[in-house]
Structure 1
Amino acid sequence: MRRSRHAKIVATLGPATTEANKIRDLYLAGTDTFRLNFSHGSQDDHARAFSAIRALEQEFGRPIGVLQDLQGPKIRIGLLEEGKLCLHAGESVRFVLDGARGGKQAIPLPHPEIFAAAHPGQKLLIDDGRVRLSVERPGDREMVARVIVGGPIRDHKGVNLPGASLDISPLTKKDRADLAFGLELGVDWVALSFVQKPSDLIEARALIGEAAGLVAKIETPMALDRIDDIIQLSDALMVGRGDLGVEIPPEDVPGRQKELVRACRLAAKPVIVATQMLDSMVAAPTPTRAEASDVATAIYDGADAVMLSAESASGAYPIEAVAMMDRIIRSTEQHRLYRSLIEASRVDEENTPPHAVAAAGADLAATIEAKAIVGFTASGTTAARISRKRPPVPILALTQDENVARRMCLLWGVHSVVASDPSGYEEITQIAAVAAQREGYARSGDLAVVVFGLPFGHRGATNNLRVAAC
């Protein structure tokens, strides 16, 4: 199951792909990491999907990543009369903190943080900005707002307050229960929704520890304001363009996406570009040309992974969506301009021996036209340091930790393999050569560049470089 591309694919599971045979088809179509979206479905649903993924690992003998995406403190309206209302531009409506089912003068909004943060002129966006209002009279338990852009709203539709910093924990009671459940299952990554500040990640890390990698979802302008600290405290980033595009002007999203990809590459941490990448394939067998270009742009930017949401979770063509994304990535990476654009966006190495050794390994492999770069890694850090260079040579990452191998399924260009550490220095090149041949990257007599750290098993100690003949 060696992929013929560098960038990875994350596919969300859902009602259209709950059956084990569908999950298998998604994997064969190109999925590298599966996303379990805990905003939907029961814990039993996710447990069955998780079991099916682990069964695939046994069948194919390859590590597969599992990302648990927590719902987070999503702000939603409550229950409405007859389940829906139609708001008209210019009319005045009232939101109330308490209420069962309400009409235009008592729309339930059961979130005290909203009432505390609202001020005259504050924008309220409902259903991803399809309906827009402006607060006229705020209050502790009720507030009056005027409709700017009208339209229908339904029960539990999401509400955004652009620019407002809400005094709310990123982990709700539901999230904490789901997180404990996910860690017990053995998920590889945990995505934290609606991160606003670095302390949100500290709170989550205290619960996760080293049991899984922590992904910060960037969906708010407050997170952008503290992005350097957030990247430092997280293990990976997800660019959540849906909510981010509601919170900031849509025309700012492409530039922000490029900034985030570059910042993560500089920090040697994977970045996922997400939301509406092939959205029309929820209902159609092919994407629009603009969507294909959107995926390609993320690949030209150097993103580690691109993600499918509703396309693979609830769409009519989930397998086709993954296969299409795979085709777009491969076509983009094979384009004659791809390598020059990736080189043009290269980042400077950190001024440390581990980063210098990894960078030298990537450059050396390209110079001598080695067939592979083999990195021995205890935590995945060595592979991440090589990957940040975006070398034209395949990266084969060897680790004795199965969980680390699964997490590396998010890293650009990395093919991870579970293998024993060498028992001594002289065994290093032998193990690397055998692995490169066994995984189909090299044949007898080909060259491979080997990057590792001594003593073995120490995290982050990349300090050795060798050239091996296979």
Structure 2
Amino acid sequence: MRRHRRAKIVATVGPASSSPEMLKKLFLAGVDTFRLNFSHGSHEDHAKVHQAIRALEAELESPIGVLQDLQGPKIRVGTIRNGKISVSAGESIRFVPEGADGDAQSIPLRHPEIFAAVLPGHDLLIDDGRVRVRVTRVGRDAIDAEVIYGGIISNRKGVNLPDTMLALSPLTPKDRADLAFGLELGVDWVALSFVQKPSDVIDAKALIGDRAGLIAKIEKPQALDHIDDILRVADAIMVARGDLGVEIPHQDVPGRQKELVRAARLAVKPVIVATQMLDSMVASPAPTRAEASDVATAIYDGADAVMLSAESATGDYPVETVRMMDSIIRSTEGHKLYHSIVHATQPVTEQTPPHAVAAAAADLAEAIDAPVIVAFTSSGTTAARIARKRPVLPILAITPNISISRRLRLLWGVQGFHSKAAHGYDEMIAHAVETAREEKFAERGNFIVVVFGIPFGKTGTTNNLRVVQVGGA
């Protein structure tokens, strides 16, 4: 299913979108990758959705990506007497490691790693930052704090600690069980929540191996401090603006988004921009103008993909939301300033043969007005290197690995195509021409640019490009 846009759409599956009929409607409306949110739903629920997606893939003969999003550790206060307490700015309150039915002087916080790591001056944000307190004293059995922004603290509300590096693995026992289940299903991407440092990613990749790509969700200030190292070990990143927008000032989020998109592009790794992109469409058939502008901004930034959460999972208008996002992307990419803006942030080409060949292929294809670049790839890297240039024409990536063709559904400008392996130079060229014609990327007489590596099938050997006329002279 060819998309007439470059940026991709990720849609979360939930009660509003889990039926086979709705999944098909969403895919035809423009979804490239479906997200399974393991913070909700049972293994049985996710297995049924995965089976329906793979059946749809077979029916339409088009690869479809599946992203498993792990819940990660959730830090919450315990139970409060009468269910809630009201605190005011300037008031002194106390957190304790044990206890039940707490009050303002004994709020249960059953996370010993917080007591071990938090320091005076650090902030605790409760209920998505609606209540902010600042630590004044830390003891073995209590954390004293002053209320900065008052409000209601109720049972089991979440706690964010933007200033504190916690000795906390992003993989909880639940996540490990969910991950094993997801890998057995055959998910294509795994999103790791609350990454703080590169070792978090390394630990998860040790469990995943090459069975799926790993996406590091950037939602902690500590991850921002280590982003270059995280990008070296992750396969992709997600700008998870929900928790990130709680832990850093709201006004800093847009700039950080641009930094992260640029850093991912420089590292030749896909980047997803997520959270509340068309949030009003959960209950409305049309977005606000600000939301449409927000999606367009991510596209102008050069993001590989934009993501829908509640809009497609629980909203009243899942299909309409996908169509709207597709329309905004196509309109933005068709704007006369789009390519100049995206090219203005283009990273300098790395001085290696694979990067130089990929960059030259993009420039050559544009210079001869080719309708498509055909890239043979075994790992997806060749296609990613070409996509890094953000060429004006589509990239048709041919791979013998069905898993790679599905992962490429997340990559900017790339249309993944699963095919048998080519075993010789002439066979590869003939296959490129045949596929470009069959998939309606090129017509007889067109010149196309073909990129590949020799030895054939060996990862990281992008070293050849050729201009071929479709149908011969």
The TM tier, using the shorter chain, reads over 0.9
Determine helix, strand or coil for the equivalent of 1:280. Answer: helix
2:217 corresponds to: 217
2:55 corresponds to: 55
State the TM-score, normalized to the length of structure 2: 0.96
Q: Which amino acid aligns with 1:450?
A: V
Aligned residue runs from structure 1 range 56-71, under 5 A: 56-71=56-71
Determine if contact 1:73/1:171 at 8 Å carries over to the other structure.
yes
2:390 corresponds to: 390
Distance 1:286 1:83 in 2: 37
Determine if contact 1:396/1:417 at 8 Å carries over to the other structure.
yes
1:161 corresponds to: 161
State the TM-score, normalized to the length of structure 1: 0.97
1:193 corresponds to: 193
Determine helix, strand or coil for the equivalent of 2:462. Answer: coil
Distance 1:62 1:373 in 2: 19
Determine helix, strand or coil for the equivalent of 2:285. Answer: coil
Aligned residue runs from structure 1 range 228-247, under 5 A: 228-247=228-247
Aligned residue runs from structure 1 range 2-401, under 5 A: 2-401=2-401
Distance 1:410 1:432 in 2: 22
Determine helix, strand or coil for the equivalent of 1:330. Answer: helix
Tell me by how many angstroms 1:310 deviates: 1.5
Distance 2:204 2:26 in 1: 30
Task: List per-residue Cα deviations over 1:78-122 (Å, max 9, x = no partner).
Answer: 233454444333433332222344343332222111222222332
Distance 2:56 2:362 in 1: 32
Determine helix, strand or coil for the equivalent of 2:76. Answer: coil
Distance 1:435 1:106 in 2: 67
Percent of aligned pairs with the same amino acid: 66
Distance 2:86 2:281 in 1: 28
Distance 1:306 1:89 in 2: 38
Q: Which amino acid aligns with 1:111?
A: H
Determine if contact 2:32/2:64 at 8 Å carries over to the other structure.
yes
Determine if contact 1:285/1:320 at 8 Å carries over to the other structure.
yes
Distance 2:149 2:315 in 1: 29
CA shift in 2, pair 1:156/1:24, >3 Å = farther
Q: Which amino acid aligns with 1:381?
A: T
Greater Cα shift, 410-419 or 8-17: 8-17
Q: Tell me which stretches of 4 or more aligned residues in structure 1 moved more than 4 Å.
A: none
Distance 2:155 2:308 in 1: 25
Q: Which amino acid aligns with 1:147?
A: V
Residues matched between the structures, number: 470
Distance 1:200 1:233 in 2: 10
Q: Which amino acid aligns with 1:394?
A: P
CA shift in 2, pair 1:171/1:353, >3 Å = same
Q: Which amino acid aligns with 1:351?
A: Q
Give structure 2 stretches of 5+ with no counterpart. Answer: none
Greater Cα shift, 110-119 or 450-459: 110-119
Q: Which amino acid aligns with 1:249?
A: P
Determine if contact 1:396/1:416 at 8 Å carries over to the other structure.
yes
Determine if contact 1:112/1:141 at 8 Å carries over to the other structure.
no
Q: Which amino acid aligns with 1:387?
A: A
1:456 corresponds to: 456
Tell me by how many angstroms 1:164 deviates: 0.9
Determine if contact 2:424/2:456 at 8 Å carries over to the other structure.
no
Distance 1:162 1:180 in 2: 30
Determine if contact 1:7/1:413 at 8 Å carries over to the other structure.
yes
Q: Which amino acid aligns with 2:65?
A: G
**1:442 lines up with 2:442 in the alignment:** yes
Distance 1:104 1:313 in 2: 37
Task: List per-residue Cα deviations over 1:34-81 (Å, max 9, x = no partner).
Answer: 111111111111111111111110111111111111111121222334
CA shift in 2, pair 1:78/1:46, >3 Å = farther
Greater Cα shift, 417-426 or 137-146: 137-146
Q: Which amino acid aligns with 1:269?
A: K
Greater Cα shift, 89-98 or 384-393: 89-98
Distance 2:409 2:85 in 1: 44
Distance 1:271 1:203 in 2: 21
Task: List per-residue Cα deviations over 1:385-421 (Å, max 9, x = no partner).
Answer: 1100100111000001000000000100000000112
Tell me by how many angstroms 1:161 deviates: 1.1
Determine helix, strand or coil for the equivalent of 1:15. Answer: coil
Distance 2:290 2:418 in 1: 39
Determine helix, strand or coil for the equivalent of 2:25. Answer: helix
Distance 2:7 2:156 in 1: 35
2:417 corresponds to: 417
Distance 2:220 2:340 in 1: 32
Q: Which amino acid aligns with 2:281?
A: M
